[in-house]
A and B are shown apart, each in its own frame.
Chain A
């Protein structure tokens, strides 16, 4: 049986409109359908979708398809498409908006949970005391087992340190020894740095769920800590 036609008696591209209101220079309508984005996109073909088709569905008001495709999680928002697009259209930015439009319960569970946890403290949900304990424990072990690093430092909450360093929560949780190489580099370089005992997670999960408020919240929390400690520079490891 032949597929039913898409009836466009009145064109209502509500999602497109919403994105345009949120991102004034998004230029969805400028699309030439040239396919340059689709040729360069690593996610082309996943979920039977590509960046050009995605834009086209938006333009033709196929909102249901846009809101339901899981391709928005295949797209990594890397902006490779935008880099070379003759019209400079940022599909990643559009994907971000649409991710945010999806009800939380319909988002990928792990992603949403990580964001929710990060909003409380960190994305793995380990208590802050555990982070402090793990850092000190690993540091102690290195100092003892590797005599040449007996002076290695991993300061936490050091007021007035020049550099503030955040930490991806995965390492203290599952691979604590992975933190050490960076400490060593900073040590050799003679950098005056510190971790914080709260809001120390450098991951940015709320960026990927598409909720700007959540993302802003976690970033602001980190910023507050940096200000409290009086550090001049913020080193983001993510």
Chain B
């Protein structure tokens, strides 16, 4: 490969694409992010809440989108599509077609006047047609970029020039340009990441669901919009037929999934069970009457992710009804209601009426995506998802092109985010030589020292077109601002955020020698960084700045009271001025980085992370407590797709051992850790000290062995009872005796999903079924029985379950009230289990009994988590910073996790997570120094009594009592500025910089003055 390019193309602006782009842009690469619609955000932006945390989807997504939208090294190409790709890994040329927006994004200030005047209404695709939008529109309220676009199919002017054109007439900034034409761009990039997402299954073809004919049958995606505050009924749940709040809702699972008859989708869509439970829970919360009844009709309840099983159990406690039954036909009933007839497992028929039916539709690949893949030569699998393999989970068949998210298999958000970082990691490996070659860097002039200067405040009052000015008398507010103490300059601007005003502001700051700035306009959420940057460009510290939100919190909410709104605007400005007077310049804290990683645990996860970082040129210290590499994977026979595990492991260990940048410490554990991100110092049990900038924790887990108790099933008592891994050993050794068996029985969920281990171990269903198939391979006449509770072969693994049934393997369901009973007769195993469907007890005589016992956390994980100040779940797995969007980060900066210590997972997910951890770690290692929080806590030693309350309340372990002085001291590298210590301090000795009591009181007093 010649010198690779230092830029990357990411196709698809959903959460996966955005995460991949951010990872790369933050570690030294220039990213072109191509999105076909007018705004990034993807499917996640359409969701109301996300499981299992019930976080508001838009709220947790928006900051990432804003970050991507503003990033100096992300070139956002909306309304764009990839035409073709030529070249080779490291040096691709991509042709991109950019469709016209007809609105100049540099001029549009998203005031919305255009859409108000636009006479053309069309169904809003963001709300799946449940609501309407105008021909000129914002994709959604929090859209990034927050710029209007014209829908050329709907626009009257574009279809009949000379007609309409109202938007152009009313646009206050002249942003409308009907003459815009499609553009073709040619991009030179080193690698390509496909994050093409999914499309919800369209159930119209399943006529028995009533979808499309019965008004009150909706898809789950439509239901998300019905729940969403930004949706067509503003979050007040209404059913389509009569806009009444439904009192009784049913969810039908597996619509378009696990169906090879009508839907032609043999796979499981993985996420529907969880989202249905979430929707049922959230709908109950939304219900104003408080008596919403929810029922979920399902085949197998698949809650196999972290925190999912607990969520399911909680939902049952909250009164959500779960019916293990499928409904044949949704029938119309009186008052637009719907009748469902269903048969329970015992064969009893029930009939129930519902007011709304939600179809839990599966995920499928968009035909447009299939076409693109065909053009790029990207191989799809039998289900039309992009093909990947377990040992290279984010690699496509075309070298240099990577993939992440739901386009390669249906999956949830954390898994997509993990893969996004993994894809970014693979891109970095390929292009590591070109790091920082194409990135841009913002340079600022040196800052003026303002300490000795008396305050000179400048106030900029924004009209925001007519958004503010039509309600608030901005001139009056401006004149008023001039009268406030400390204010030496005030000005009204039509659009303070427009490029020319921004430039003008910088000039004014310099000319008037302003040393404090207040902007009275919109929200700091979107605009504070822009104005702060302007301060820096004008040579003053960016923390000498305050915003007064006189739009969202004033003109928009008090439209009918212009006089009072003007008074409120004055109040808000007065408060901001009072506050800004107390602001002091804050340091742009930075922490120098030791460019070395510590990886703890040399199983597959640890080795993959270590190798990836080493391949990127970063030295790694790999610590393993045992005397050999390989970890848990040593015990595995093959992946569920049939690849032999030991061959892979051998190759991986060889590469690790031969890598000049990897130093391996066998038989060692971590004893002591000090420092923080960029500068950790760790002492190992063998006495060695390691200095490192980041750490990856990949210490694995253990397999549960049911030696005693309720889940024992003769384990350890009869020689023919094994765990899955013990049977794997026999496969590895090619044990001939296995072919001679007549009958084998597997018991699922042994010690999983039980009170003492309430989580699902995720891997055992697939593993057990694969083993059963292997036994069938050895002896096709063998009778095999699988005793299970719910089969959880999520995603493509469902094909394995189907294959097992096809081959005559028999699945018998049991539940906790009717456990299988194992006994011995003359040394032979006898199993009794009830088949619920025929209502009879079955007696089995297996030659071997295999216990699908789950994964359990290691007992010593707690110690390690304390050393790195990381949290743990109740079950004893390590807890990531955020379950949804930061799946490999710890709350402690610079420490990451991967593999089984996070949660049980198969090898392909372990590898993806390990690569993701490497990507996140590289974001630190690629820099000489990393930025740290500026707004940090400050201790006044005169007041501090050294009581230590602050050290206990600090979630980041940033405060400690100094041994010498006996007073609290804050490590500004660790401090996040959360303020917990400030609130906790009994002596008023701690303050947050620029948020001190005096300043806040000044603001409060200013509020009272008016």
Q: Which residues does A use to contact B, with CB under 8 Å? A: 3, 5-11, 27, 29-41, 44-45, 48-50, 52-53, 56-57, 59-60, 62, 80-88
Is B734 at the interface (CB under 8 A from chain A)?
no
Contact check, B261 vs A50: say whether CB atoms are below 8 A apart: no
Contact check, B299 vs A32: say whether CB atoms are below 8 A apart: yes
B342 contact set on A, CB distance < 8 A: 35, 39
List 11 contacting pairs A-B, 8 Å CB cutoff, sorted by A: A6-B840, A32-B299, A35-B325, A36-B326, A36-B327, A37-B328, A39-B327, A39-B328, A45-B347, A60-B842, A85-B261
Contact check, A35 vs B805: say whether CB atoms are below 8 A apart: no
Number of interface residues of B (CB under 8 A): 46
| Candidates B261, B783, B832; contact of A5 at CB < 8 Å | B832
Is B1008 at the interface (CB under 8 A from chain A)?
no
CB under 8 Å from chain A, chain B span 774-829: 783, 785, 802, 805-808, 810-811, 813
Contact check, A30 vs B805: say whether CB atoms are below 8 A apart: yes
Known interface pairs A6-B843, A44-B343. Does A39 touch B326 (Cβ–Cβ under 8 Å)?
yes
B261 contact set on A, CB distance < 8 A: 82, 84-88
A25 to chain B, nearest CB (A): 12
The answer for the CA separation of A36 and B298 in the assembled complex, in Å, is: 10
Known interface pairs A5-B843, A9-B845, A40-B328. Does A86 touch B838 (Cβ–Cβ under 8 Å)?
no
Which are the 7 A-B pairs with shortest beta-carbon distances?
A40-B328, A88-B261, A38-B343, A36-B326, A86-B259, A5-B841, A5-B843
Is B208 at the interface (CB under 8 A from chain A)?
yes
The answer for the CA separation of A70 and B807 in the assembled complex, in Å, is: 29
Contact check, A11 vs B810: say whether CB atoms are below 8 A apart: yes
Contact check, A86 vs B343: say whether CB atoms are below 8 A apart: no
A36 contact set on B, CB distance < 8 A: 326-328
Known interface pairs A34-B326, A44-B343, A80-B328. Does A53 touch B842 (Cβ–Cβ under 8 Å)?
no
The answer for the CA separation of A27 and B343 in the assembled complex, in Å, is: 22
The answer for the CA separation of A6 and B833 in the assembled complex, in Å, is: 10
**Max chain B Cβ within 10 angstroms of own Cβ: one of A11, A50, A52, A57:** A11
Known interface pairs A30-B805, A34-B299, A86-B261. Does A60 touch B835 (Cβ–Cβ under 8 Å)?
yes
* Additional A-B contacts beyond A3-B841, A39-B327 (15; CB < 8 A): A5-B840, A6-B835, A11-B810, A27-B806, A35-B324, A35-B325, A36-B327, A36-B328, A37-B328, A44-B343, A53-B347, A60-B810, A82-B261, A84-B262, A87-B259
Contact check, B347 vs A84: say whether CB atoms are below 8 A apart: no
Is B329 at the interface (CB under 8 A from chain A)?
yes
A9 contact set on B, CB distance < 8 A: 743, 843, 845
Known interface pairs A34-B299, A52-B837. Does A10 touch B208 (Cβ–Cβ under 8 Å)?
no
Contact check, B783 vs A44: say whether CB atoms are below 8 A apart: no
In the complex, residue of chain A having the shortest beta-carbon distance to the beta carbon of B350: A39
The answer for the CA separation of A57 and B347 in the assembled complex, in Å, is: 13
Contact check, A29 vs B806: say whether CB atoms are below 8 A apart: yes
| Candidates A57, A81, A88; contact of B838 at CB < 8 Å | A57
Contact check, A3 vs B326: say whether CB atoms are below 8 A apart: no
A32 to chain B, nearest CB (A): 6
The answer for the CA separation of A81 and B783 in the assembled complex, in Å, is: 28
The answer for the CA separation of A35 and B342 in the assembled complex, in Å, is: 8
Is B597 at the interface (CB under 8 A from chain A)?
no
Is B113 at the interface (CB under 8 A from chain A)?
no
A9 to chain B, nearest CB (A): 5
A28 to chain B, nearest CB (A): 10
Known interface pairs A7-B843, A60-B810, A86-B254. Does A33 touch B783 (Cβ–Cβ under 8 Å)?
no
Q: Mark B308-339, 1 if CB is under 8 A from A, else 0.
A: 00000000000000001111110000000000
Q: Mark B341-354, 1 if CB is under 8 A from A, else 0.
A: 11111011100000
In the complex, residue of chain B having the shortest beta-carbon distance to the beta carbon of A85: B261
Known interface pairs A6-B842, A57-B838. Does A31 touch B347 (Cβ–Cβ under 8 Å)?
no
Contact check, B841 vs A6: say whether CB atoms are below 8 A apart: yes
In the complex, residue of chain A having the shortest beta-carbon distance to the beta carbon of B832: A5
The answer for the CA separation of A35 and B263 in the assembled complex, in Å, is: 18
Contact check, A40 vs B262: say whether CB atoms are below 8 A apart: no
B813 contact set on A, CB distance < 8 A: 33
A30 contact set on B, CB distance < 8 A: 260, 802, 805-806
Is B742 at the interface (CB under 8 A from chain A)?
yes
CB under 8 Å from chain A, chain B span 172-214: 206, 208
Is B844 at the interface (CB under 8 A from chain A)?
yes
Known interface pairs A7-B843, A37-B328, A44-B349. Does A32 touch B838 (Cβ–Cβ under 8 Å)?
no
B299 contact set on A, CB distance < 8 A: 32, 34
In the complex, residue of chain A having the shortest beta-carbon distance to the beta carbon of B340: A39
Q: Mark B829-860, 1 if CB is under 8 A from A, else 0.
A: 00010010110111111000000000000000
In the complex, residue of chain A having the shortest beta-carbon distance to the beta carbon of B263: A86
Is B258 at the interface (CB under 8 A from chain A)?
yes
The answer for the CA separation of A87 and B783 in the assembled complex, in Å, is: 22
B783 contact set on A, CB distance < 8 A: 8, 10-11
B328 contact set on A, CB distance < 8 A: 36-37, 39-41, 80-81, 84
Known interface pairs A34-B299, A36-B327. Does A86 touch B258 (Cβ–Cβ under 8 Å)?
yes
**Max chain A Cβ within 10 angstroms of own Cβ: one of B262, B835, B842:** B835
In the complex, residue of chain A having the shortest beta-carbon distance to the beta carbon of B327: A39
The answer for the CA separation of A3 and B261 in the assembled complex, in Å, is: 38
The answer for the CA separation of A33 and B836 in the assembled complex, in Å, is: 10
The answer for the CA separation of A9 and B206 in the assembled complex, in Å, is: 42
The answer for the CA separation of A9 and B830 in the assembled complex, in Å, is: 10
In the complex, residue of chain A having the shortest beta-carbon distance to the beta carbon of B782: A11
**Max chain B Cβ within 10 angstroms of own Cβ: one of A6, A9, A34:** A34
B216 to chain A, nearest CB (A): 19
In the complex, residue of chain B having the shortest beta-carbon distance to the beta carbon of A49: B347
| Candidates A27, A57, A84, A87; contact of B329 at CB < 8 Å | A84
A3 contact set on B, CB distance < 8 A: 840-841
B822 to chain A, nearest CB (A): 14
A50 contact set on B, CB distance < 8 A: 343, 347
Known interface pairs A50-B343, A86-B260. Does A62 touch B838 (Cβ–Cβ under 8 Å)?
yes
The answer for the CA separation of A52 and B349 in the assembled complex, in Å, is: 13
| Candidates B259, B341, B743; contact of A39 at CB < 8 Å | B341
A62 contact set on B, CB distance < 8 A: 838
Contact check, B343 vs A84: say whether CB atoms are below 8 A apart: no
Known interface pairs A36-B328, A39-B342, A44-B349. Does A56 touch B835 (Cβ–Cβ under 8 Å)?
yes
The answer for the CA separation of A56 and B347 in the assembled complex, in Å, is: 12
Contact check, A35 vs B802: say whether CB atoms are below 8 A apart: no
A48 contact set on B, CB distance < 8 A: 347
A40 contact set on B, CB distance < 8 A: 208, 328-329, 341
The answer for the CA separation of A36 and B813 in the assembled complex, in Å, is: 17
Contact check, A31 vs B349: say whether CB atoms are below 8 A apart: no
Q: Mark B337-381, 1 if CB is under 8 A from A, else 0.
A: 000011111011100000000000000000000000000000000
B772 to chain A, nearest CB (A): 13
The answer for the CA separation of A83 and B205 in the assembled complex, in Å, is: 12
| Candidates A10, A29, A44, A86; contact of B347 at CB < 8 Å | A44
In the complex, residue of chain A having the shortest beta-carbon distance to the beta carbon of B806: A29
In the complex, residue of chain B having the shortest beta-carbon distance to the beta carbon of A20: B808
A59 contact set on B, CB distance < 8 A: 810
Contact check, B806 vs A60: say whether CB atoms are below 8 A apart: no
Contact check, B343 vs A52: say whether CB atoms are below 8 A apart: yes
A87 contact set on B, CB distance < 8 A: 259-261
A95 to chain B, nearest CB (A): 17
B842 contact set on A, CB distance < 8 A: 5-6, 8, 60
B260 contact set on A, CB distance < 8 A: 30, 86-88
A60 contact set on B, CB distance < 8 A: 810, 835, 838, 842
B655 to chain A, nearest CB (A): 43
The answer for the CA separation of A40 and B342 in the assembled complex, in Å, is: 8
A129 to chain B, nearest CB (A): 48
**Max chain A Cβ within 10 angstroms of own Cβ: one of B742, B813, B840:** B840
B273 to chain A, nearest CB (A): 14
A169 to chain B, nearest CB (A): 35
Contact check, B326 vs A35: say whether CB atoms are below 8 A apart: yes
B802 contact set on A, CB distance < 8 A: 30
A81 contact set on B, CB distance < 8 A: 328
The answer for the CA separation of A86 and B811 in the assembled complex, in Å, is: 17
